[in-house]
Structure 1
């Protein structure tokens, strides 16, 4: 339930992750967050952000892992709560790509490459990347960059924004469109991007410190990254598009040192997430993963040992080595019975062992302690399907998809439950929602039309399908108008 291409959007959006800054613990920075208000409104940015996200879902290897998504979202919103100039909601997600990168775009969307978890040694280091990207959004750098380009070219803001959208849908055509609108203005664009990066670092370090993380984590992480790839014949894409010269790292280190040193305990949740990424989203193979856990454990404090045991358990589980996985997971759950990382894995283990009843009992108890937890809920629905309790699963998933309409996991399971229950029209409706999330409007409308034809004439169900068709047609027209 749960290919590897590089998004052109990463190249178009200011997403270099470290730059010089001025020392000032008081953060006496200009109010620059609304400079772009004359070009794109917040409402327009939200429209473009939604459109970009749908295209990314269609073409990029987005990781739809409820455990990882919950961790990234919690971390991101912990930072957003301390950020300045927040004008949009935020959505955080991961792309399966071992290249080190992160990027942000319209509407508060922040993407992290899985490769970041290979290199960030602490939660503060990962948070420094996220805080930087949040600053790109709050300071509206993409819109402001387009404003600068529009001043130097005959292109309109709409043409530039449409080119970015086209770049995702058709990379060659999109690159041609962007080249046409920016040719002859490269130096000005480079200077403006450097200015954006400086601002993003200034605001990012401040957010990092206010949220209780180590301000020094940003220069430490990127200084280590620069050292590691200084003589590499093929540096990661981030360093090719956004180099890390010494003066940038030195200045960011000076700014970070102006904040009091925070004594931050090692985050078990970060290391559990990191272990899950290593085990499932790096394609290193079982032996290499076990070797990585062994090496990392030797260099880590004893309180992080559960993270490495958890990573090993996942590798065993994915290789159907159920006895080894069972030993590790039961020990972990015994010491931390409400940990969603462990409950998710143990639920899968019980399913593999054809003991779904045990999983149901465990998850019902967990839901009483955390009734709205997405990880536990999605696992519970999956177990209900395995137990052929389709009506119960459908009720759970209807609530879940209502609360989490952009989570394709919920729609996939709702489709499966309805197929198994013989509800063809509801299966079509669920699959239509997945297609709409990927901007496949015509197919989504077609599926809902078929569902309407299967429904009883004049029923509330048919009226619901028809109303959704009307909504999708409006969304399709708005989407096409953006291009």
Structure 2
């Protein structure tokens, strides 16, 4: 559960729970047109502001998986669906939270979170895609904003208070539902019905998106049915069933709708199963022996075409245990089968660094970068191998470009900070660390680091001007963030 900090979420929740504080909250808001109850919903621009703020809070509080390979896979899958969705009005960002509970949620600004536990329960890429498509539909149909508008008609709470409690509800269902109940006592039945209506609409748009994107439309009712059967008598259902209830009529509705679309046979996705293997090996919170046992048992029940995915999973277990000889045998064989596979390239890069042979990793990555020069997995690994070779000047150039292209990835800033430390450039190191703090909504500390960097830079230099300009930007972002409180 998210910690209660002095933030948008905590203060909005406090407003929802304490009606006497509503006037003060309303007066402190500095955003146009948010207003009070029944004054209309948020604009798209305001949703983007809320989404950015909440994402920064999540980076600071939730166990977000900052894995470049998994992020690339999720991003590719998500944008394949977005490209086939209707009514897209915002950019989309897909990310993973390390949590074995089955859950996914979307919030303002096109942010879609997937729990790692989804991969442990989805049996195919189409099943995972069905959940992602459903969440995309929640965003495109603006269900969160519409729910707030509906609640504003029934409750004295402000839009800001409802935003806070609803954002908490989608990520922490039990706490969030309690907040909504407190803010809207006596009107929960209407909210539940409205939510169920949204769920059916998200299913309808989600299935259409699945079909246009080339996935198996039957995956949605199949996944829903298995989930409902598994937790039918559970005393504590997974978070997904708290925020996405699965009554029988909803499952039936998705099954009937799926029958109206062309029935296509979708081959198994090797990349999906590679991602699943990576999660089992590294993010399932199980011991190495248990992971190896899972790969052995599951492989016996799977298609021979998926054998490389289980081999890859075993290689990761050996790699993480520093059993480099076993990992090397497997990974080199996989690499020979598919030299452009990002999963294999990433693992081999780590292997060569572990073997004190980073130059071999660089050579391999340079070849791959010639065909896809801006691929984030290749770029971040290449920067890392240059650091391992103590080529710090070259590493900073690669990592500067990476952080420019992917400014929201903390991995790039961490490596850039390390490179500047090795070069003895304290001001640039502070600047890189400040960017990480800003991504986690620690505005004051970020501004402090940039101020220190400016003081270290040569007086009147372009570098000092750059730091000072960034300080001004961060102060504007901080004030905008604090205005949401």
TM-score, normalised via structure 1 length: 0.90
> Given that residues 356 and 383 in structure 1 are in contact (C-alpha distance below 8 angstroms), is that contact kept between their aligned partners in structure 2?
yes
Match of 1:437 among 426, 439, 457: 439
> Structure 1 residues 410 and 422 mapped into 2: Cα distance closer, same or farther (>3 Å)?
same
> Structure 1 residues 413 and 277 mapped into 2: Cα distance closer, same or farther (>3 Å)?
same
1:213-224 equivalences in 2 (<5 Å): 213-224=215-226
> Given that residues 145 and 193 in structure 1 are in contact (C-alpha distance below 8 angstroms), is that contact kept between their aligned partners in structure 2?
yes
Match of 1:382 among 370, 381, 384: 384
**3-state SS, counterpart of residue 451 of structure 2:** helix
Cα offset for 1:227? Answer: 1.2
Q: Deviations 1:303-331 (Å, cap 9, x if unpaired)?
A: 11111100000000001111110000000
> Given that residues 384 and 393 in structure 1 are in contact (C-alpha distance below 8 angstroms), is that contact kept between their aligned partners in structure 2?
yes
> Given that residues 271 and 307 in structure 1 are in contact (C-alpha distance below 8 angstroms), is that contact kept between their aligned partners in structure 2?
yes
**3-state SS, counterpart of residue 441 of structure 2:** coil
1:39-118 equivalences in 2 (<5 Å): 39-118=41-120
Match of 1:333 among 335, 341, 346: 335
Is 2:299 the partner of 1:297? Answer: yes
* 1:28 matched residue in structure 2: none
Q: Measure, in 1, the Cα distance between the counterparts of 2:198 and 2:169.
A: 22
> Given that residues 162 and 482 in structure 1 are in contact (C-alpha distance below 8 angstroms), is that contact kept between their aligned partners in structure 2?
no
Q: Measure, in 2, the Cα distance between the counterparts of 1:217 and 1:228.
A: 16
Match of 2:161 among 153, 159, 162: 159
The gaps in structure 1 that reach 5 residues or longer are: 13-35
> Structure 1 residues 300 and 166 mapped into 2: Cα distance closer, same or farther (>3 Å)?
closer
> Given that residues 105 and 170 in structure 2 are in contact (C-alpha distance below 8 angstroms), is that contact kept between their aligned partners in structure 1?
no
> Structure 1 residues 177 and 241 mapped into 2: Cα distance closer, same or farther (>3 Å)?
closer
> Given that residues 169 and 243 in structure 2 are in contact (C-alpha distance below 8 angstroms), is that contact kept between their aligned partners in structure 1?
no
**3-state SS, counterpart of residue 110 of structure 1:** strand
Is 2:147 the partner of 1:134? Answer: no
Is 2:205 the partner of 1:203? Answer: yes
Q: Measure, in 1, the Cα distance between the counterparts of 2:3 and 2:467.
A: 34
* 1:192 matched residue in structure 2: 194
Q: Measure, in 2, the Cα distance between the counterparts of 1:171 and 1:283.
A: 23
User: How many pairs were matched up?
Assistant: 454
- Alignment root-mean-square deviation, CA: 2.3
* 2:27 matched residue in structure 1: none
Cα offset for 1:6? Answer: 6.0
> Structure 1 residues 37 and 197 mapped into 2: Cα distance closer, same or farther (>3 Å)?
farther
> Structure 1 residues 173 and 115 mapped into 2: Cα distance closer, same or farther (>3 Å)?
closer
Cα offset for 1:239? Answer: 2.3
> Structure 1 residues 171 and 429 mapped into 2: Cα distance closer, same or farther (>3 Å)?
farther
> Structure 1 residues 168 and 266 mapped into 2: Cα distance closer, same or farther (>3 Å)?
closer
> Given that residues 52 and 168 in structure 1 are in contact (C-alpha distance below 8 angstroms), is that contact kept between their aligned partners in structure 2?
no
Is 2:272 the partner of 1:236? Answer: no
**3-state SS, counterpart of residue 226 of structure 1:** helix
Is 2:342 the partner of 1:364? Answer: no
* 2:311 matched residue in structure 1: 309
**3-state SS, counterpart of residue 410 of structure 1:** helix
> Given that residues 112 and 135 in structure 2 are in contact (C-alpha distance below 8 angstroms), is that contact kept between their aligned partners in structure 1?
yes
Is 2:91 the partner of 1:119? Answer: no
> Given that residues 97 and 113 in structure 2 are in contact (C-alpha distance below 8 angstroms), is that contact kept between their aligned partners in structure 1?
yes
**3-state SS, counterpart of residue 221 of structure 2:** helix
Q: Measure, in 2, the Cα distance between the counterparts of 1:283 and 1:175.
A: 28
> Structure 1 residues 459 and 166 mapped into 2: Cα distance closer, same or farther (>3 Å)?
farther
1:387-426 equivalences in 2 (<5 Å): 387-426=389-428
* 1:24 matched residue in structure 2: none
Cα offset for 1:456? Answer: 0.4
> Given that residues 80 and 134 in structure 1 are in contact (C-alpha distance below 8 angstroms), is that contact kept between their aligned partners in structure 2?
yes
Q: Measure, in 2, the Cα distance between the counterparts of 1:171 and 1:428.
A: 38
Match of 2:151 among 139, 149, 152: 149
Q: Measure, in 2, the Cα distance between the counterparts of 1:360 and 1:265.
A: 34
Q: Deviations 1:460-482 (Å, cap 9, x if unpaired)?
A: 00000000000000000000101
